[in-house]
Structure formats: C-alpha cells, structure tokens
Amino acid sequence: MKILVTGAGGFLGAHLVERLLAHGYTDIRCLLRERSKAERLLSLSAAYPAAQVEMCFGNLRSKADCARALAGVSLIFHLAAGLKGSPAELFADSVVASRNLLDALDGREGFPTRASRVVLVSSFGVYGVAALPRGARVDEQTPLETHPERRDPYSQSKLRQEQLFRDSQREKGFELVVLRPGVIYGPGGGAFSNRVGLQIGPLFFHLGGSNLLPLAYVVNCAEAIVVAGTHSDSAGQAYNVHDDDLPTAAGYLRAYKKQVRPIRSVRLPYFMTRMLAAALESYHRRSQGQLPAIITRSKAAAAWGGNTFTNAKLHALGWQQLVATSDAMAQTFASLRTQGKPR
Amino acid sequence: MGLKIAIVGCGKIADAHVEEVRKIPSVRLAAVCDLEPIMAEQLAMRYTIPNWYSDIEAMLDAEKPDVVHITTPPQSHLALTRQAVAAGCHVFLEKPVALRHVDVEAIIQAAVDAGKKLSVNYWPNFEEPALELRRLHEAGTLGDPVHIESYYGYNLGGEYGTAFRRDPEHWVHRLPGKLFQNVLDHALNKITPFLPDQHPQLEAIAYCGDHAAEGNPSSQLLDELRVMIHGAQTSAYVTFSSHARPIEHSLRVYGTRNTARLDFMARTLVLERQQAFPSALGRLFPPFLTAKDFLRQGMKNANRFRQARFHYFDGMRRLLSEFYLSVDRDTAPPIDYGEILRVSAMMERIFSQVYPEVFA
C-alpha cells in the first residue's frame, strides 16, 4: 500500500513520516514544496532501510502536481495547509489545494476512489465554541462553527476545508477520517499558542489563566494520526487530538519563564478580556477598521472561554501518549532556550 | 450617487478594495467574482457580500454593475477590461495595468471607444500629504523642479514577498519585468507630475541584493533597481530596494526655490526652505524649524487619526471617491490617461534594459 503524506516538509509532516515508518509502513511518498525540506525526511528514512520513502516536489495549487502525487496511492494523509499569510493565501493553500487533491482522486487507473482512504488533519478551530457556556466540554459531538465570518481566517479556512472533504466523501464514496488536533507543539515549533496569550509590543498579555491548554506534543499527535488514520473502525469518524495530562495556560507560562527565559507578562482575567474585546470591536467598527480588531468577543470565547477537553474517543482506538507531557514540555523548552525571542 | 460596484479577482488585494469601497456611503458593493469559485466564495463570506460568481459574463449579466474593479493578475486585464466596458461598465484597475505598454494603450482605447471611464489604483498619490505637495507645486512654492528622488522600499520577507518567492509558478515571475513590474508604478507615478519631459533619457541597472543567493542561480531574483532619468530641465532618480531597512517610501522634489520631502510611511510633508539667517545662525536654526514642521505634521496626523481618517489605504478611498464622482457627473477621471501611459512607457523602457532577453 502506497501512502501519500502532503505537507511532509512541515513541522508535523516529518514526525508523521517517522511514526508511519515506526509502525512498519514501507511505501511512503512525501509531497513537499521546498527541496530544502527533503534532507530531514531522507535522514529519517535511513533508519528504515527496508522502507521506500519517495520525495515528490510539487504544489497542491497545481492540478498536475496533485495528479502526479496521487498516482498509485490508496491512503492519503493530508496535512498541507496554509498557516500564515493573507486570508486569500490561507484559502488558496488550504481549500483550493484540498479541492485540487480531491479532484485528482478520480480517474487513477487501478486505484478506484471508493477504495481510497483520506485522512484529513483539521483543527480545534472548526468548533463553534463561542456559543457554548463558559467551561463547557469540547468533544467530537460539539457543533461546528455556524458563524465563520466571526472567526479568524485560519479557522474559516479549516472549517471550509472540512466541509469540502465531507461533501466530496459523500459524492465520491472514499473513506474519510478527520483528526482535529489542539495546540501542536514541540522542538522546532512556536513557544506560545494564542490560548496562552498574545505578545503585544514588549509585553506578553496572559489571557489563558487557569484554562486547560489542549496541548498535543508533535510526536504524540503524529502517533494519533497514524493510529486513527489506519484503524479499521475510524472511517467516517472525527477525533480530537490532545495529550492526557494537560497543563493550564498559567502553568505553561510559569514553566516557560522558569525553563526558557523570563518574560514580562500581564495577566488579564477573562471578564476584562471580554470587555477589551467588546471595546476593540466597537472601535474597529466605528473607525471603519483604522485599528485591527485583534480580539473580538467571538475569538475571546473560542480561545479563552475555559473549555475542557476529552480525547476518550481517540483512546478507544488504542492510541497511547508516547511522550509524557512533562517530558514533552522539557524537550520543547530545551529547544526554545537555544532560539531567540518567543514566537 | 447610488453606483453599483463589482470586483473581479478575489486575491489578497481584493480585501483592500472591499474595505475601501465599503467606506464610501453612496456606492454599493453588489458582487465579487473569481474564476476559482472557492476564492470568490471566501471573499463574499468574510465580508458578507450579497453575491459571488465564478463567471464574469454571468456576473455582468445578472448584476449589471456600474463600475467593475479588476484586481486579477495583469495578464488578464486587457481581456477583462474589454469585457467590462462592452457590458457598459466603467473600470477601476489594480496596478500593474498590463504586461506590455501596447496592452496599456489598448486598455485605455477600449474604455475611450466604449465611452466609459477608467482609472488605475495609484493610491499613494491621493494620500493627503501627496495632494498637499501637488498644491505646493502648482502654487509655485517649490519653483521649477530641478531633481526628483523617488525611493520605494520593499519587504521580500512580508506576506506577499514570501508568497511569490516560495512559489515558482506565481504570476509575478511571469511578468516581463518580474518583481519590479509589480511595484514600479508606485515609484514612477510619483515622479511624472513633476517631470515635464514626455520622453526623457533613462538608464537602469538591477542586481540581486541577496548575498545568500550567490552561487545559486535558481534563487537569484533581481531585487535591487536604480534608475537615472534625465530630461531637458529636470532629472530624477528612482531607487527600488528590497534590502535596505527601515523600509521607506519617500519622494524628494528639489525645486529652484525650495525642496519638499514627502514620507509616505509616516505621512509627513516637510518643506526645506532657503535660509535667511546669516552665518552660524543659519546653521543653528534649521533643525528647530524642521522639528516644528514635523511637529505640525504629527499633530495633523493625530487629528486625522482622531477623526478615523488615518487608514493604510486612505489614499485609495479618496481616489475611488473621486473616480466614482467622475462617473456619476461625467467629468474627467482623477488620473489623466496620459499620466498612465507615460508611467507605462517608462516602465517598459526600464524593463527592456534590465531584462533585454525578454524584450529582444
């Protein structure tokens, strides 16, 4: 069985390839945009001499590249997505790219679309948590966002991407598995999720407080994607992905200050964050966008609304956390110590 | 006025058009269109625009807009302009106007032949300090322009620069003048109002300022450009730099009476006057006089901010308002077609020197 991993050059992609190799998969095609990202993947595969890890350079915005990447493939892990840039670029890299990939599923000789499986890596950002009461538990039954226009462009693009896959699945009949990771972190990743707070000028505004931080260490997340993506019972299902022993946002910030470097932070309680968001929204509207509404009430509720989380459905498939959160944080912070300022 | 507006092309710059159109109370944004339906849909969703289309013909038929904004890559501008004016629409074009000068001529001719108006998004020239500089020039405060320096800084590490650098198929790479063609309008259109010569002498040099790319021809993008322009009475320099920091957008007009310094980033216009004070006093006072000018400009900007008139694309809103007014009242559009053609002709001459193989 040939496996395609899109976004294989990314932060999560390389770990996914490693976990696939560790699980004994031996025929993997890595789709990546930048040739410079191939080196790490090739060195990973050197530890598995029986495996064939093929580098396929291309861009999912190109239909021809999609067709080339999918030739002979029956299991697709779709990780490629726009993470930053303008809203138009996020949609082009996440949604248009996904549509091209799905279009290219059809017409592959010897590989009927119905017999294919697509594993989509989505995001917690698709849930409509703003409508939930403060502290509500987010699980796979939580309704998806019904007001995408109120959300940030990244969440908008991921929501549209998921909708696209569900529509396509109904039409084409392939098996679809959706993974929704929380905050993916690890060496080589960023220091702070917005769920902890926002760096504005020289100050870090700590907005997460005692909220649980749905961390997914990159190795654990990759493991979850392999376990759910290859399990016979997972077709048609969605799984939230986060680790077991979650820290609070305040605990994470404390540990960062202790293990990486001290930073100047100001803690803002949730009610003040909501008031600030309302004021910013109001000024943004009145001034016709003279200052960006970096926090809105909807975004505040989604990021700092104090939700709790469960990964019980993922555990039921047999997933186990490979790296304990304390070790994962220590490894991440050790890496961040060698870097410059927090990202 | 009640004009009905539609936008064709839903990439990054379309956001700016939507936001500025919506600030003009007398017009209505009715629909957006993109060949890629997902892109049209996302723009309509994010700004709650009533309708979106993936076929311009269908949009023109159904919406019958008065003005069509064309914000697609320039490769498609000529065909889309012809389609829009044939459907009875006036056209507002994003820069660069077209791939070649001959296409710019054809675009303007198409609008003229159809009896429709056209304008181009030369928005920095409609910022308040830029308009003030024009007024000073017209009032004779500067005297006759002797020399002009237009400086345009570019951030290759920004959203846009990153997008086209990592995508070898990006439309910017297919422009005859590559990166320069996408931005040089904004450096040249600031010079032409002060340069009387229709066909000045022109010398351009370009090079790759990214030393990390040395020895790697595939990543060597020409990203530094210097142009010397020489007319009968007036000369000009154009500097385009991707590596100098901080990024600066500025214009300096040296006149026979006074010199004006316009900073587009800080939105300040300062006049450097002839000194009347004798001896050492002539060296003592100028910094204080200049500081006073900057303070006055800062206060003006603070006042604009207080009145919520200090948006990034404030010049675009002003340009659009004037263009819509010209459509409504059937008066001359805010940018003379001769100006657009002069900028385009100079751009083509610059690119033919920088990329002679493309223009051979």
Sign of CA dihedral A42, A44, A46, A52: negative
Residue A207 burial (10 A CB sphere; 0-12, 13-18, 19+): buried
What are the distances in angstroms from CA B299 to CA A316, B268, B285, B306? 64, 10, 21, 10
Structure-derived torsion over alpha carbons of residues B181, B182, B185, B190, reported in degrees to the nearest 10: -120
* Cβ contact A322:A219 at 8 Å: yes
pLDDT tens for A158-182 read 999 999 999 999 999 999 999 999 9
Q: Domain for residue A206, yes or no?
A: no
- Over residues B219-267, the pLDDT tens digits come to 678 999 999 999 999 999 999 999 999 999 999 999 999 999 999 999 9
> What is the per-residue pLDDT across B97-136, written as a single tens digit (0 to 9) for each?
999 999 999 999 999 999 999 999 999 999 999 999 999 9
**ipTM value:** 0.91
CA B277 vs CA B259, B260, B274, B285: distances in Å? 18, 20, 9, 8
Q: Which phi and psi (to 5°) does residue A195 adopt?
A: -65, -20
CATH number of the structural domain spanning residue A85? 3.40.50.720
Query: What are the backbone angles phi and psi of residue A324, rounded to the nearest 5°?
Result: -65, 150
Mean pLDDT of all residues belonging to chain B: 94
d(CA A6, CA A12): 11
- Alpha-carbon distance of A211 to A325, in angstroms, equals 16
d(CA A55, CA A33): 10
Task: Using a CB–CB cutoff of 8 Å, tell me whether A158 touches chain B.
Answer: no
Element (H, E) at A278: helix A270-286
Indicate left, alpha or beta for B216 from its phi (over 0: left) and psi (-120 to 50: alpha): beta
**CA quadruple B54, B59, B63, B69: dihedral sign:** positive
Contact B12 A86 (CB under 8 A): yes
Residue B23 has pLDDT above 60, yes or no: yes
Q: Are strands B3-8 and B67-70 parallel, antiparallel or unpaired?
A: parallel
What chain B holds in terms of domains, given with CATH numbers, is 3-120 (3.40.50.720), 125-313+345-359 (3.30.360.10)
| Least trusted range by pLDDT, from A76-85, B160-169, B272-281 | B160-169
Q: Quick check: B10 and A289 CB within 8 A?
A: no
Q: For chain B, what is the largest distance between any 2 Cα atoms, rounded to a whole number of angstroms?
A: 73
Cross-strand bridge partners of residue A185: A217
Split into its structural domains, chain A has a count of 1
φ/ψ bin of A120: left (φ > 0), alpha (ψ from -120 to 50), beta (otherwise): beta
CA of residue B129 relative to chain centroid, distance: 15
Task: Name the residue among B279, B281, B300 with its Cα closest to residue B289.
Answer: B281
Which residues are A203's β-sheet partners?
A: A200
- For position A340, what pLDDT does the model report? 65
DSSP notation for B83-122: HHHHTT-EEEEPSS--SSHHHHHHHHHHHHHHT--EEE--
Chain B within 8 Å of A161 (Cβ-Cβ)?
no
pLDDT in tens, chain A (343 residues): 999 999 999 999 999 999 999 999 999 999 999 888 999 999 988 999 999 999 999 999 999 999 999 999 999 999 999 988 899 999 999 999 999 999 999 978 778 888 899 999 999 999 999 889 988 999 999 999 999 988 999 999 999 999 999 999 999 999 999 999 999 999 999 999 999 999 988 999 999 999 999 999 999 999 999 999 999 999 999 999 999 999 999 999 999 999 999 999 999 999 999 999 999 999 999 999 999 998 999 999 999 999 999 999 999 999 999 999 999 999 999 999 998 655 4
Lookup result for tokens 């790219």: A97
How many angstroms separate the first and last alpha carbons of chain A?
39
Separation CA A338–CA A218 (nearest Å): 19
pLDDT at A343: 47
Split at pLDDT 50, 70, 90, the class of B167 is: confident
Alpha-carbon distance B189 to B192, whole Å? 5
Smallest Cβ–Cβ distance between B166 and the set A34, A87, A91 belongs to: A34
Phi then psi dihedrals of residue B60, to 5 deg: -65, -40
Element housing B3 (H / E): strand B3-8
**Residue ranges of E strands in B181-248:** 201-207, 224-230, 235-241
Chain A, nearest residue to B314 by Cα: A290
Question: Which single residue is written with the structure tokens 């690119």?
Answer: B351
Going by their DSSP bridges, the two strands A137-138 and A308-309 should be labelled as: parallel
Cα separation, A260 vs B57, whole angstroms: 58
The verdict on whether omega for the bond into residue B96 sits within 30 degrees of 0, i.e. cis, is yes
DSSP tag of B4:
E
Can the peptide bond before residue A214 be classed as cis, meaning omega within 30 degrees of 0? no
Best residue in B10, B42, B71 for a mutation probing chain A (most A CBs within 10 Å): B42
- In a domain, residue A279? The reply is no
Spell out which residues of chain B touch residue A59, defining contact as CB-CB under 8 Å: 167, 169
Check A288 against B308: CB less than 8 A apart. Answer: yes
Residue B204: CB atoms within 10 A of its CB come to 20
| Assigned token pair, B298 | 């800062």
The DSSP output letter for B2 is: -
* Residues in a beta bridge with A199: A204
Distance from C-alpha of A105 to C-alpha of A73, rounded to nearest angstrom: 9
Q: What is the pLDDT of residue B219?
A: 62
User: In whole angstroms, what is the distance from residue B251 CA to residue B271 CA?
Assistant: 12
Within-domain flag for A335: no
Q: Which helix (H) or strand (E) holds A32?
A: strand A27-32
Q: From CA A116, how far away is CA A107, in angstroms rounded?
A: 12
Q: Which single residue is written with the structure tokens 């309008």?
A: B185
Percent of chain B with pLDDT over 70: 97
Backbone angles phi, psi at A288, to 5 degrees: 55, 45
- Other CB atoms within 10 Å distance of the CB of residue B184: 25
Largest pairwise CA distance in chain A: 63
Determine whether the interchain pair A149/B45 forms a contact, defined as Cβ–Cβ distance below 8 Å: yes
Distance separating alpha carbons of residues B260 and A304, to the nearest angstrom: 50
Q: Do A61 and B43 touch (CB under 8 A)?
A: no
Task: In whole angstroms, give the CA distance from residue A322 to residue A316.
Answer: 16
Expressed as residue numbers, the domain containing A167 is 3-189+214-246+307-328
In a domain, A267, yes or no: no
Mean pLDDT score across all residues of chain A: 94
Whole-prediction pTM value? 0.93
pLDDT at B277: 84
Query: What is the 3-state composition of chain A as percent helix, strand, coil, each rounded to the nearest 5?
Result: 45, 20, 40
DSSP state at residue B332: -
Q: How far apart are CA B14 and CA B34, in angstroms?
A: 11
Q: Which residues of A touch B163 (CB under 8 A)?
A: 85-86, 89
Minimum CA–CA partner of A83 in chain B? B159
Q: Is residue A262 part of a domain?
A: no
CA angle A231, A237, A241 (to 5 degrees): 80
Q: Which member of A88, A148, A149 has the closest CB to residue B11?
A: A88
Nearest CA to B167 out of B11, B38, B46 is that of: B11
Tell whether A254 is covered by a domain: no
Write a three-state SS string for B246-295. Answer: CCCEEEEEEECCCEEEEECCCCEEEEECCCCCCCCHHHHCHHHHHHHHHH
Q: What is the pLDDT of residue A130?
A: 87
Distances (CA, A) of A174 to A106, A204, B138: 10, 45, 69
Is residue B216 over pLDDT 60? no
The number of angstroms, rounded, from the C-alpha of A255 to the middle of its chain's C-alpha atoms is 23
How close A262 comes to chain B (CA, Å)?
28
Report the Cα–Cα distance between both ends of chain B, in Å, rounded. 48
Contact B159 A86 (CB under 8 A): yes
pLDDT in tens, A124-144: 999 999 889 988 999 999 999
* Residue A147 near chain B (CB below 8 Å): no
